[in-house]
A and B are shown apart, each in its own frame.
Chain A
Amino acid sequence: MSAGGAGGGATAAYPQQTIMAIGAVGGLAGIYLGHFMPPAFSFFGGLGAICAIVWGADAVRRVASYGLGTGVPSIGMIALGMGIVAALFGLSVGGIAGPIVSFIAAAIIGAVIGVLANKVIGMGIPIMEQAMVEIAGAGTLAIIGLSVVIAGTFNYADVVQNVVANGYIALIFIIGGMGILHPFNANLGPDEKQDRTLMLAVEKAAIAVVITGFASSLHEGLMAAGLNIFVGLVIWAFAFMKYYELVKRDAFSVVGTGLLPSAEELE
Protein backbone atom coordinates (compact mmCIF):
# COMPACT_ATOMS: atom_id res chain seq x y z
CA MET A 1 0.00 0.00 0.00
CA SER A 2 2.94 2.27 0.33
CA ALA A 3 2.14 4.01 -2.92
CA GLY A 4 4.38 6.99 -3.12
CA GLY A 5 5.85 5.88 0.15
CA ALA A 6 8.97 4.45 -1.40
CA GLY A 7 10.48 7.90 -1.23
CA GLY A 8 12.61 7.91 -4.31
CA GLY A 9 14.82 10.60 -5.70
CA ALA A 10 14.15 14.28 -5.40
CA THR A 11 12.70 14.72 -8.85
CA ALA A 12 11.94 11.11 -9.81
CA ALA A 13 8.36 11.08 -11.03
CA TYR A 14 6.36 7.91 -10.65
CA PRO A 15 5.06 6.99 -14.09
CA GLN A 16 1.37 7.29 -14.67
CA GLN A 17 0.88 3.61 -15.49
CA THR A 18 2.42 2.49 -12.21
CA ILE A 19 0.09 4.67 -10.20
CA MET A 20 -2.93 3.60 -12.24
CA ALA A 21 -2.04 -0.03 -11.60
CA ILE A 22 -1.53 0.57 -7.88
CA GLY A 23 -4.82 2.42 -7.67
CA ALA A 24 -6.99 0.01 -9.64
CA VAL A 25 -5.44 -3.29 -8.60
CA GLY A 26 -4.59 -2.24 -5.05
CA GLY A 27 -8.00 -0.67 -4.62
CA LEU A 28 -9.92 -3.72 -5.81
CA ALA A 29 -7.66 -6.13 -3.93
CA GLY A 30 -8.15 -4.20 -0.70
CA ILE A 31 -11.90 -4.12 -1.16
CA TYR A 32 -12.14 -7.85 -1.82
CA LEU A 33 -9.82 -8.73 1.09
CA GLY A 34 -11.87 -6.54 3.39
CA HIS A 35 -15.03 -8.22 2.15
CA PHE A 36 -13.98 -11.85 2.50
CA MET A 37 -11.91 -11.66 5.68
CA PRO A 38 -13.69 -11.50 9.05
CA PRO A 39 -14.96 -8.06 10.16
CA ALA A 40 -11.82 -7.46 12.23
CA PHE A 41 -9.86 -7.18 8.99
CA SER A 42 -12.10 -4.62 7.39
CA PHE A 43 -9.14 -2.22 7.44
CA PHE A 44 -8.08 -3.87 4.17
CA GLY A 45 -10.92 -1.91 2.60
CA GLY A 46 -9.24 1.19 3.98
CA LEU A 47 -5.92 0.20 2.44
CA GLY A 48 -7.72 -0.20 -0.87
CA ALA A 49 -9.24 3.23 -0.43
CA ILE A 50 -5.76 4.68 0.22
CA CYS A 51 -4.51 3.22 -3.07
CA ALA A 52 -7.53 4.59 -4.92
CA ILE A 53 -7.18 8.05 -3.36
CA VAL A 54 -3.49 8.22 -4.29
CA TRP A 55 -4.45 7.35 -7.86
CA GLY A 56 -7.21 9.95 -7.90
CA ALA A 57 -4.88 12.62 -6.52
CA ASP A 58 -2.36 11.85 -9.24
CA ALA A 59 -5.04 12.12 -11.94
CA VAL A 60 -6.22 15.45 -10.48
CA ARG A 61 -2.62 16.61 -10.51
CA ARG A 62 -2.29 15.83 -14.22
CA VAL A 63 -5.58 17.37 -15.35
CA ALA A 64 -5.66 20.39 -13.05
CA SER A 65 -2.26 21.58 -14.24
CA TYR A 66 -4.02 22.48 -17.50
CA GLY A 67 -6.14 25.07 -15.71
CA LEU A 68 -9.83 24.28 -15.48
CA GLY A 69 -11.14 27.84 -15.46
CA THR A 70 -12.53 27.23 -12.01
CA GLY A 71 -10.90 25.91 -8.87
CA VAL A 72 -9.35 22.50 -8.37
CA PRO A 73 -12.12 21.49 -5.93
CA SER A 74 -14.76 21.34 -8.66
CA ILE A 75 -13.16 18.32 -10.25
CA GLY A 76 -13.07 16.49 -6.94
CA MET A 77 -16.76 17.22 -6.43
CA ILE A 78 -17.75 15.91 -9.88
CA ALA A 79 -15.58 12.84 -9.31
CA LEU A 80 -17.38 11.94 -6.14
CA GLY A 81 -20.75 12.89 -7.60
CA MET A 82 -20.20 10.35 -10.39
CA GLY A 83 -18.56 7.94 -7.98
CA ILE A 84 -21.42 7.81 -5.49
CA VAL A 85 -24.00 6.99 -8.16
CA ALA A 86 -21.81 4.40 -9.85
CA ALA A 87 -20.68 2.78 -6.59
CA LEU A 88 -24.16 2.09 -5.24
CA PHE A 89 -25.38 1.00 -8.68
CA GLY A 90 -22.59 -1.57 -9.03
CA LEU A 91 -23.12 -2.95 -5.56
CA SER A 92 -26.87 -3.25 -6.16
CA VAL A 93 -26.66 -5.32 -9.34
CA GLY A 94 -23.21 -6.88 -9.27
CA GLY A 95 -23.41 -9.19 -6.30
CA ILE A 96 -19.94 -10.54 -5.77
CA ALA A 97 -18.63 -8.66 -8.80
CA GLY A 98 -20.13 -5.47 -7.40
CA PRO A 99 -16.98 -3.34 -7.09
CA ILE A 100 -15.92 -4.27 -10.62
CA VAL A 101 -19.35 -3.40 -12.03
CA SER A 102 -19.22 -0.10 -10.13
CA PHE A 103 -15.77 0.58 -11.49
CA ILE A 104 -16.89 -0.05 -15.09
CA ALA A 105 -20.05 2.05 -14.63
CA ALA A 106 -17.96 4.89 -13.24
CA ALA A 107 -15.53 4.62 -16.15
CA ILE A 108 -18.43 4.85 -18.63
CA ILE A 109 -20.02 7.87 -16.91
CA GLY A 110 -16.60 9.50 -16.59
CA ALA A 111 -15.80 8.91 -20.25
CA VAL A 112 -19.12 10.39 -21.36
CA ILE A 113 -18.65 13.48 -19.20
CA GLY A 114 -15.06 13.84 -20.40
CA VAL A 115 -16.15 13.66 -24.04
CA LEU A 116 -18.97 16.13 -23.39
CA ALA A 117 -16.55 18.52 -21.65
CA ASN A 118 -14.20 18.51 -24.61
CA LYS A 119 -16.53 18.10 -27.59
CA VAL A 120 -19.68 19.97 -26.53
CA ILE A 121 -18.44 22.52 -24.01
CA GLY A 122 -15.10 22.84 -25.76
CA MET A 123 -12.68 22.91 -22.85
CA GLY A 124 -9.88 21.68 -25.10
CA ILE A 125 -7.96 19.80 -22.43
CA PRO A 126 -6.29 16.92 -24.29
CA ILE A 127 -6.34 14.45 -21.40
CA MET A 128 -9.83 15.37 -20.17
CA GLU A 129 -11.50 12.10 -21.26
CA GLN A 130 -8.84 9.90 -19.74
CA ALA A 131 -8.60 11.96 -16.56
CA MET A 132 -12.37 11.88 -16.04
CA VAL A 133 -12.37 8.10 -16.39
CA GLU A 134 -9.53 7.80 -13.91
CA ILE A 135 -10.98 10.25 -11.40
CA ALA A 136 -14.44 8.68 -11.51
CA GLY A 137 -12.94 5.20 -11.12
CA ALA A 138 -10.73 6.27 -8.24
CA GLY A 139 -13.62 8.05 -6.54
CA THR A 140 -15.79 4.95 -6.83
CA LEU A 141 -13.14 2.66 -5.39
CA ALA A 142 -12.49 5.11 -2.56
CA ILE A 143 -16.20 5.18 -1.70
CA ILE A 144 -16.53 1.40 -1.77
CA GLY A 145 -13.29 0.92 0.16
CA LEU A 146 -14.36 3.25 2.94
CA SER A 147 -17.83 1.67 2.96
CA VAL A 148 -16.17 -1.71 3.48
CA VAL A 149 -14.34 -0.27 6.49
CA ILE A 150 -17.65 0.74 8.07
CA ALA A 151 -19.82 -2.20 7.02
CA GLY A 152 -17.17 -4.94 6.89
CA THR A 153 -18.57 -6.07 3.54
CA PHE A 154 -19.75 -4.64 0.26
CA ASN A 155 -22.99 -6.60 0.27
CA TYR A 156 -25.59 -4.08 -0.94
CA ALA A 157 -28.07 -4.68 1.86
CA ASP A 158 -25.40 -4.21 4.54
CA VAL A 159 -23.93 -1.14 2.90
CA VAL A 160 -27.34 0.49 2.59
CA GLN A 161 -28.22 -0.30 6.17
CA ASN A 162 -24.92 0.55 7.84
CA VAL A 163 -23.51 3.26 5.62
CA VAL A 164 -26.30 4.94 3.69
CA ALA A 165 -29.27 4.96 6.06
CA ASN A 166 -27.40 6.68 8.90
CA GLY A 167 -25.86 9.24 6.57
CA TYR A 168 -22.21 8.12 6.85
CA ILE A 169 -22.25 8.07 3.06
CA ALA A 170 -22.13 11.89 3.21
CA LEU A 171 -18.99 11.64 5.34
CA ILE A 172 -17.43 9.18 2.89
CA PHE A 173 -18.43 11.42 0.00
CA ILE A 174 -16.63 14.47 1.35
CA ILE A 175 -13.66 12.80 3.06
CA GLY A 176 -12.91 10.74 -0.07
CA GLY A 177 -13.37 13.79 -2.26
CA MET A 178 -11.07 15.90 -0.11
CA GLY A 179 -8.51 13.09 -0.16
CA ILE A 180 -8.53 13.25 -3.95
CA LEU A 181 -8.61 17.03 -4.46
CA HIS A 182 -6.74 18.33 -1.41
CA PRO A 183 -3.22 16.99 -2.14
CA PHE A 184 -2.75 18.87 -5.39
CA ASN A 185 -4.64 21.93 -4.15
CA ALA A 186 -2.52 22.11 -1.01
CA ASN A 187 0.72 21.82 -2.96
CA LEU A 188 -0.23 24.14 -5.80
CA GLY A 189 2.69 26.19 -6.99
CA PRO A 190 5.50 26.18 -9.53
CA ASP A 191 7.72 23.94 -7.41
CA GLU A 192 5.13 21.26 -6.75
CA LYS A 193 6.66 17.76 -6.62
CA GLN A 194 4.79 14.57 -7.38
CA ASP A 195 6.11 12.52 -4.47
CA ARG A 196 5.16 15.23 -1.97
CA THR A 197 1.65 15.50 -3.42
CA LEU A 198 1.14 11.75 -3.34
CA MET A 199 2.49 11.48 0.20
CA LEU A 200 -0.12 14.03 1.23
CA ALA A 201 -2.75 11.87 -0.48
CA VAL A 202 -1.64 8.93 1.68
CA GLU A 203 -1.84 11.12 4.79
CA LYS A 204 -5.34 12.38 3.98
CA ALA A 205 -6.56 8.89 3.05
CA ALA A 206 -5.23 7.61 6.38
CA ILE A 207 -7.36 10.19 8.19
CA ALA A 208 -10.35 8.89 6.23
CA VAL A 209 -9.53 5.37 7.47
CA VAL A 210 -9.31 6.59 11.09
CA ILE A 211 -12.65 8.39 10.98
CA THR A 212 -14.49 5.63 9.11
CA GLY A 213 -12.80 3.16 11.45
CA PHE A 214 -14.35 4.95 14.41
CA ALA A 215 -17.73 4.91 12.66
CA SER A 216 -17.37 1.16 12.13
CA SER A 217 -17.73 0.56 15.89
CA LEU A 218 -21.48 0.98 15.41
CA HIS A 219 -21.69 -2.19 13.38
CA GLU A 220 -18.49 -4.17 13.82
CA GLY A 221 -17.86 -3.74 17.52
CA LEU A 222 -15.06 -2.10 19.42
CA MET A 223 -12.30 -4.57 18.58
CA ALA A 224 -12.59 -4.15 14.84
CA ALA A 225 -13.02 -0.42 15.21
CA GLY A 226 -9.94 -0.18 17.39
CA LEU A 227 -7.89 -2.12 14.84
CA ASN A 228 -9.16 0.10 12.02
CA ILE A 229 -8.26 3.24 13.95
CA PHE A 230 -4.86 1.84 14.92
CA VAL A 231 -3.95 0.95 11.32
CA GLY A 232 -5.13 4.35 10.16
CA LEU A 233 -3.17 6.19 12.83
CA VAL A 234 0.05 4.31 12.11
CA ILE A 235 -0.18 5.10 8.40
CA TRP A 236 -1.12 8.68 9.20
CA ALA A 237 1.82 9.22 11.53
CA PHE A 238 4.25 7.69 9.05
CA ALA A 239 2.88 9.69 6.12
CA PHE A 240 2.75 12.94 8.06
CA MET A 241 6.38 12.67 9.18
CA LYS A 242 7.41 11.74 5.65
CA TYR A 243 5.43 14.68 4.25
CA TYR A 244 7.11 17.05 6.68
CA GLU A 245 10.50 15.72 5.58
CA LEU A 246 9.57 16.35 1.96
CA VAL A 247 8.42 19.86 2.83
CA LYS A 248 11.78 20.49 4.47
CA ARG A 249 13.49 19.11 1.39
CA ASP A 250 11.51 21.22 -1.07
CA ALA A 251 10.98 24.49 0.78
CA PHE A 252 13.26 27.48 0.27
CA SER A 253 13.89 27.35 4.00
CA VAL A 254 12.09 26.08 7.06
CA VAL A 255 12.78 28.47 9.89
CA GLY A 256 11.64 28.49 13.51
CA THR A 257 10.94 32.17 13.34
CA GLY A 258 12.20 35.18 11.45
CA LEU A 259 11.39 38.38 9.68
CA LEU A 260 10.61 38.68 5.99
CA PRO A 261 13.50 38.18 3.56
CA SER A 262 15.10 41.53 2.75
CA ALA A 263 15.18 43.05 -0.72
CA GLU A 264 18.79 41.92 -1.25
CA GLU A 265 17.94 38.33 -0.35
CA LEU A 266 15.16 38.30 -2.93
CA GLU A 267 17.47 39.32 -5.75
Chain B
Amino acid sequence: MEPLIGMGVLALIGVAATIAGASEDLESDVGSQSNPNSQVQLAPQMMFPHRIYNKAVSGEPPSNALMCSVGAAVATVLISEFTLSPLFALVIGSLVAACVHGTFAVTSTMGRAASQRRFKQPVYLDMIRSHTPVIMGYSFITTFCVLIVSYLMTVVLGHPFPLTMLAFIWGITVGAIGSSTGDVHYGAEREFQQFEFGSGLNASNSGNIVRYGESGVRNGYDNSWFCAKFGGPVTGIAFGMTVFLGSWVTTIFDPAVSIARGWLSVVAGVVIVLILIIWNWKIEVKARNAFGPYKEDKPEEASA
Protein backbone atom coordinates (compact mmCIF):
# COMPACT_ATOMS: atom_id res chain seq x y z
CA MET B 1 0.00 0.00 0.00
CA GLU B 2 1.09 3.58 -0.61
CA PRO B 3 2.60 4.89 2.62
CA LEU B 4 0.59 8.08 2.27
CA ILE B 5 -2.73 6.22 2.05
CA GLY B 6 -1.67 4.12 5.02
CA MET B 7 -1.03 7.31 6.98
CA GLY B 8 -4.41 8.76 6.02
CA VAL B 9 -6.25 5.61 7.06
CA LEU B 10 -4.28 5.57 10.27
CA ALA B 11 -5.27 9.16 11.02
CA LEU B 12 -8.92 8.30 10.42
CA ILE B 13 -8.62 5.26 12.71
CA GLY B 14 -7.05 7.41 15.40
CA VAL B 15 -9.83 9.99 15.21
CA ALA B 16 -12.58 7.37 15.33
CA ALA B 17 -10.91 5.65 18.26
CA THR B 18 -10.64 8.93 20.17
CA ILE B 19 -14.33 9.63 19.76
CA ALA B 20 -15.14 6.04 20.74
CA GLY B 21 -13.11 6.33 23.94
CA ALA B 22 -14.70 9.61 24.97
CA SER B 23 -18.26 8.46 24.33
CA GLU B 24 -17.56 5.13 26.03
CA ASP B 25 -16.58 6.91 29.22
CA LEU B 26 -19.55 9.28 29.16
CA GLU B 27 -21.87 6.35 28.51
CA SER B 28 -20.58 4.66 31.62
CA ASP B 29 -20.85 7.90 33.62
CA VAL B 30 -24.41 8.81 32.69
CA GLY B 31 -25.55 5.29 33.54
CA SER B 32 -23.03 4.71 36.34
CA GLN B 33 -21.32 1.49 35.36
CA SER B 34 -18.41 -0.64 36.43
CA ASN B 35 -16.33 0.00 39.54
CA PRO B 36 -17.63 3.44 40.67
CA ASN B 37 -21.08 1.91 40.57
CA SER B 38 -20.15 -0.15 43.64
CA GLN B 39 -20.68 3.08 45.63
CA VAL B 40 -24.03 3.77 44.00
CA GLN B 41 -24.94 0.20 44.86
CA LEU B 42 -23.75 0.66 48.46
CA ALA B 43 -25.45 4.01 49.07
CA PRO B 44 -29.00 2.82 49.90
CA GLN B 45 -27.56 0.37 52.43
CA MET B 46 -25.88 3.32 54.18
CA MET B 47 -29.26 5.09 54.32
CA PHE B 48 -28.57 7.19 51.23
CA PRO B 49 -31.25 6.35 48.63
CA HIS B 50 -30.56 8.15 45.38
CA ARG B 51 -31.84 8.96 41.91
CA ILE B 52 -28.79 7.75 40.02
CA TYR B 53 -29.03 5.11 37.29
CA ASN B 54 -27.57 1.79 38.46
CA LYS B 55 -26.34 0.33 35.17
CA ALA B 56 -24.70 -2.88 36.38
CA VAL B 57 -24.07 -4.43 32.95
CA SER B 58 -21.11 -6.53 34.12
CA GLY B 59 -17.78 -4.76 33.69
CA GLU B 60 -17.30 -2.28 30.90
CA PRO B 61 -15.08 -4.59 28.79
CA PRO B 62 -17.69 -7.35 28.36
CA SER B 63 -20.53 -4.89 27.83
CA ASN B 64 -18.61 -2.95 25.19
CA ALA B 65 -17.44 -6.16 23.57
CA LEU B 66 -21.08 -7.20 23.37
CA MET B 67 -22.18 -3.92 21.77
CA CYS B 68 -19.36 -3.95 19.26
CA SER B 69 -19.68 -7.60 18.27
CA VAL B 70 -23.48 -7.33 17.89
CA GLY B 71 -22.98 -4.29 15.69
CA ALA B 72 -20.26 -5.98 13.68
CA ALA B 73 -22.26 -9.18 13.18
CA VAL B 74 -25.30 -7.27 11.95
CA ALA B 75 -23.11 -5.15 9.68
CA THR B 76 -21.38 -8.25 8.30
CA VAL B 77 -24.75 -9.76 7.40
CA LEU B 78 -25.90 -6.55 5.75
CA ILE B 79 -22.68 -6.18 3.75
CA SER B 80 -22.43 -9.78 2.54
CA GLU B 81 -26.09 -10.87 2.32
CA PHE B 82 -27.86 -7.67 1.37
CA THR B 83 -24.82 -6.04 -0.36
CA LEU B 84 -25.51 -2.82 1.48
CA SER B 85 -22.99 0.01 1.40
CA PRO B 86 -20.58 -0.48 4.32
CA LEU B 87 -21.38 2.93 5.76
CA PHE B 88 -25.11 2.19 6.03
CA ALA B 89 -24.39 -1.31 7.28
CA LEU B 90 -22.20 0.01 10.06
CA VAL B 91 -24.84 2.57 11.06
CA ILE B 92 -27.63 -0.01 11.17
CA GLY B 93 -25.41 -2.45 13.03
CA SER B 94 -24.64 0.21 15.62
CA LEU B 95 -28.32 1.03 15.95
CA VAL B 96 -29.19 -2.60 16.70
CA ALA B 97 -26.30 -2.76 19.16
CA ALA B 98 -27.54 0.37 20.93
CA CYS B 99 -31.02 -1.15 21.28
CA VAL B 100 -29.58 -4.38 22.72
CA HIS B 101 -27.48 -2.36 25.12
CA GLY B 102 -30.59 -0.41 26.12
CA THR B 103 -32.33 -3.61 27.26
CA PHE B 104 -29.27 -4.59 29.29
CA ALA B 105 -29.22 -1.15 30.92
CA VAL B 106 -32.94 -1.11 31.78
CA THR B 107 -33.02 -4.62 33.22
CA SER B 108 -29.95 -4.04 35.38
CA THR B 109 -31.05 -0.76 36.93
CA MET B 110 -34.52 -2.13 37.67
CA GLY B 111 -33.12 -5.42 38.98
CA ARG B 112 -30.57 -3.83 41.26
CA ALA B 113 -33.09 -1.38 42.71
CA ALA B 114 -35.64 -4.15 43.23
CA SER B 115 -33.04 -6.23 45.09
CA GLN B 116 -32.66 -3.36 47.59
CA ARG B 117 -36.19 -3.53 48.88
CA ARG B 118 -35.16 -3.61 52.55
CA PHE B 119 -33.19 -0.37 52.11
CA LYS B 120 -36.28 1.35 50.67
CA GLN B 121 -34.70 2.27 47.35
CA PRO B 122 -37.56 3.09 44.96
CA VAL B 123 -37.52 2.41 41.21
CA TYR B 124 -37.93 5.82 39.52
CA LEU B 125 -39.50 5.23 36.12
CA ASP B 126 -39.00 8.80 34.88
CA MET B 127 -35.30 8.51 35.63
CA ILE B 128 -35.11 5.26 33.64
CA ARG B 129 -37.08 6.76 30.74
CA SER B 130 -34.96 9.87 30.54
CA HIS B 131 -31.54 8.26 30.95
CA THR B 132 -31.91 5.15 28.79
CA PRO B 133 -32.05 7.05 25.46
CA VAL B 134 -28.92 8.97 26.43
CA ILE B 135 -27.14 5.71 27.28
CA MET B 136 -28.25 4.25 23.96
CA GLY B 137 -27.06 7.36 22.15
CA TYR B 138 -23.60 7.19 23.62
CA SER B 139 -23.40 3.46 23.01
CA PHE B 140 -24.37 4.08 19.38
CA ILE B 141 -21.47 6.51 18.96
CA THR B 142 -19.04 4.13 20.65
CA THR B 143 -20.12 1.14 18.59
CA PHE B 144 -20.09 3.06 15.33
CA CYS B 145 -16.58 4.42 15.90
CA VAL B 146 -15.20 1.04 16.99
CA LEU B 147 -16.79 -0.52 13.91
CA ILE B 148 -15.11 2.08 11.71
CA VAL B 149 -11.76 1.26 13.31
CA SER B 150 -12.32 -2.47 12.84
CA TYR B 151 -13.65 -2.12 9.31
CA LEU B 152 -10.73 -0.01 8.12
CA MET B 153 -8.26 -2.38 9.77
CA THR B 154 -9.82 -5.44 8.16
CA VAL B 155 -10.58 -4.15 4.70
CA VAL B 156 -8.00 -1.43 4.07
CA LEU B 157 -5.03 -2.35 6.25
CA GLY B 158 -5.60 -6.06 5.56
CA HIS B 159 -5.76 -7.39 9.10
CA PRO B 160 -6.47 -11.14 8.92
CA PHE B 161 -9.11 -11.24 11.71
CA PRO B 162 -12.75 -11.09 10.57
CA LEU B 163 -14.69 -7.89 11.34
CA THR B 164 -16.73 -9.32 14.21
CA MET B 165 -13.70 -10.69 16.02
CA LEU B 166 -11.73 -7.48 15.62
CA ALA B 167 -14.70 -5.47 16.89
CA PHE B 168 -14.97 -7.85 19.84
CA ILE B 169 -11.30 -7.33 20.75
CA TRP B 170 -11.45 -3.55 20.38
CA GLY B 171 -14.64 -3.58 22.45
CA ILE B 172 -12.81 -5.37 25.27
CA THR B 173 -9.93 -2.89 24.96
CA VAL B 174 -12.05 0.27 24.90
CA GLY B 175 -13.93 -0.99 27.94
CA ALA B 176 -10.73 -1.84 29.79
CA ILE B 177 -9.31 1.61 29.06
CA GLY B 178 -12.54 3.42 29.91
CA SER B 179 -12.92 1.70 33.24
CA SER B 180 -9.23 2.30 34.10
CA THR B 181 -9.02 6.00 33.27
CA GLY B 182 -12.18 8.07 32.91
CA ASP B 183 -14.13 6.15 35.52
CA VAL B 184 -11.69 7.22 38.21
CA HIS B 185 -12.70 10.82 37.59
CA TYR B 186 -16.33 9.86 38.14
CA GLY B 187 -15.73 7.49 41.05
CA ALA B 188 -13.05 9.31 43.02
CA GLU B 189 -14.08 12.89 42.33
CA ARG B 190 -17.63 13.44 41.06
CA GLU B 191 -19.36 10.92 43.33
CA PHE B 192 -17.62 12.35 46.39
CA GLN B 193 -17.33 16.04 45.59
CA GLN B 194 -18.68 16.96 49.00
CA PHE B 195 -15.41 15.83 50.58
CA GLU B 196 -12.17 17.76 50.47
CA PHE B 197 -10.34 17.75 47.15
CA GLY B 198 -6.91 16.17 46.99
CA SER B 199 -7.26 12.81 48.64
CA GLY B 200 -8.62 9.38 47.99
CA LEU B 201 -11.97 8.31 49.39
CA ASN B 202 -11.73 7.69 53.12
CA ALA B 203 -13.15 4.22 53.71
CA SER B 204 -15.42 5.58 56.44
CA ASN B 205 -17.21 7.72 53.84
CA SER B 206 -18.02 4.77 51.58
CA GLY B 207 -21.52 4.92 50.17
CA ASN B 208 -21.99 8.59 51.10
CA ILE B 209 -22.29 9.72 47.49
CA VAL B 210 -23.45 13.19 46.46
CA ARG B 211 -27.19 12.91 45.95
CA TYR B 212 -28.25 16.53 45.52
CA GLY B 213 -27.29 18.67 42.55
CA GLU B 214 -26.89 22.39 42.03
CA SER B 215 -30.65 22.49 42.10
CA GLY B 216 -32.79 19.49 42.91
CA VAL B 217 -31.68 15.88 43.02
CA ARG B 218 -28.50 14.85 41.23
CA ASN B 219 -28.83 12.41 38.33
CA GLY B 220 -26.65 10.87 35.67
CA TYR B 221 -26.82 13.95 33.43
CA ASP B 222 -25.04 15.98 36.08
CA ASN B 223 -22.36 13.32 36.32
CA SER B 224 -21.73 13.16 32.58
CA TRP B 225 -21.75 17.00 32.45
CA PHE B 226 -18.89 17.04 34.91
CA CYS B 227 -16.96 14.10 33.47
CA ALA B 228 -17.26 15.46 29.92
CA LYS B 229 -14.82 18.18 31.00
CA PHE B 230 -11.95 15.87 31.87
CA GLY B 231 -12.60 12.15 32.35
CA GLY B 232 -14.27 11.59 28.98
CA PRO B 233 -11.74 13.40 26.79
CA VAL B 234 -8.71 11.79 28.41
CA THR B 235 -10.30 8.37 27.97
CA GLY B 236 -10.66 9.24 24.31
CA ILE B 237 -7.00 10.23 24.13
CA ALA B 238 -6.03 6.95 25.81
CA PHE B 239 -7.94 4.74 23.39
CA GLY B 240 -6.92 6.85 20.41
CA MET B 241 -3.28 6.63 21.45
CA THR B 242 -3.49 2.86 21.95
CA VAL B 243 -4.99 2.21 18.55
CA PHE B 244 -2.91 4.84 16.77
CA LEU B 245 0.49 4.07 18.30
CA GLY B 246 -0.06 0.31 18.00
CA SER B 247 -0.54 0.61 14.25
CA TRP B 248 1.78 3.60 13.74
CA VAL B 249 4.96 1.68 14.53
CA THR B 250 4.22 -0.89 11.83
CA THR B 251 3.12 1.72 9.30
CA ILE B 252 6.31 3.76 9.68
CA PHE B 253 8.55 0.71 9.79
CA ASP B 254 6.68 -1.68 7.52
CA PRO B 255 7.67 -5.28 8.38
CA ALA B 256 6.49 -6.38 4.92
CA VAL B 257 9.51 -4.61 3.42
CA SER B 258 12.12 -6.47 5.43
CA ILE B 259 12.61 -8.23 8.76
CA ALA B 260 14.98 -5.48 9.85
CA ARG B 261 12.20 -2.93 9.39
CA GLY B 262 10.00 -5.14 11.59
CA TRP B 263 12.57 -5.05 14.37
CA LEU B 264 12.81 -1.28 14.01
CA SER B 265 9.07 -1.11 14.65
CA VAL B 266 9.58 -3.12 17.84
CA VAL B 267 12.34 -0.75 18.91
CA ALA B 268 10.09 2.23 18.21
CA GLY B 269 7.37 0.68 20.37
CA VAL B 270 9.77 0.07 23.24
CA VAL B 271 11.02 3.66 23.01
CA ILE B 272 7.44 4.93 23.27
CA VAL B 273 6.90 2.79 26.38
CA LEU B 274 10.13 4.07 27.96
CA ILE B 275 9.07 7.67 27.32
CA LEU B 276 5.75 6.97 29.03
CA ILE B 277 7.52 5.43 32.06
CA ILE B 278 9.67 8.55 32.42
CA TRP B 279 6.65 10.80 31.94
CA ASN B 280 4.81 8.97 34.73
CA TRP B 281 7.84 9.36 36.99
CA LYS B 282 8.01 13.12 36.24
CA ILE B 283 4.33 13.56 37.10
CA GLU B 284 4.82 11.55 40.30
CA VAL B 285 7.73 13.77 41.41
CA LYS B 286 5.79 16.91 40.54
CA ALA B 287 2.74 15.74 42.45
CA ARG B 288 4.81 14.87 45.49
CA ASN B 289 6.34 18.35 45.53
CA ALA B 290 3.13 20.19 44.76
CA PHE B 291 0.77 18.37 47.10
CA GLY B 292 3.24 17.43 49.81
CA PRO B 293 2.93 14.63 52.33
CA TYR B 294 -0.38 14.03 54.09
CA LYS B 295 1.22 13.04 57.40
CA GLU B 296 4.04 14.22 59.62
CA ASP B 297 7.03 11.91 59.57
CA LYS B 298 6.94 11.02 63.26
CA PRO B 299 8.56 7.56 63.33
CA GLU B 300 11.60 8.79 61.44
CA GLU B 301 12.11 11.75 63.79
CA ALA B 302 11.98 9.39 66.72
CA SER B 303 14.56 7.09 65.24
CA ALA B 304 16.78 10.02 64.30
Contacts and interface: CB of A to CB of B under 8 A. Distances in A.
Report, as a range, how many residues of chain B touch the other chain: 35 or more
Contacts of A218: 76-77, 80-81
Nearest to B69: A171
Contacts of B115: 187-193, 250
A92 interface: no
Contact of B50 (A167, A168, A178, A260): A260
A175 B217 contact: no
A238 interface: no
Given A261-B122, A266-B49, A170 B168 contact: yes
B72 interface: yes
Contacts, number: 187
Chain B binding surface SS class: helix
Chain A binding surface SS class: helix
A251 interface: yes
A217 B123 contact: no
Given A171-B73, A214-B77, A186 B122 contact: no
B190 interface: no
Given A167-B76, A217-B81, A203 B117 contact: no
Contacts of B301: none
B214 to A, nearest CB: 16
Interface in B67-122: 69-70, 72-74, 76-77, 80-81, 96, 100, 103-104, 107-108, 110-122
A200 B107 contact: yes
18 contacts: A167-B163, A171-B70, A174-B66, A178-B63, A182-B107, A186-B107, A187-B112, A190-B115, A200-B111, A211-B70, A214-B77, A214-B96, A246-B114, A247-B114, A250-B117, A251-B110, A252-B116, A266-B49
Interface of A: 71-73, 76-77, 165-171, 173-175, 177-178, 181-182, 185-193, 196-197, 200, 203-204, 207, 211, 214-215, 217-218, 240, 243-244, 246-247, 250-261, 265-266
Interface of B: 41, 47, 49-51, 56-59, 62-63, 65-66, 69-70, 72-74, 76-77, 80-81, 96, 100, 103-104, 107-108, 110-127, 161-169, 171, 211, 217
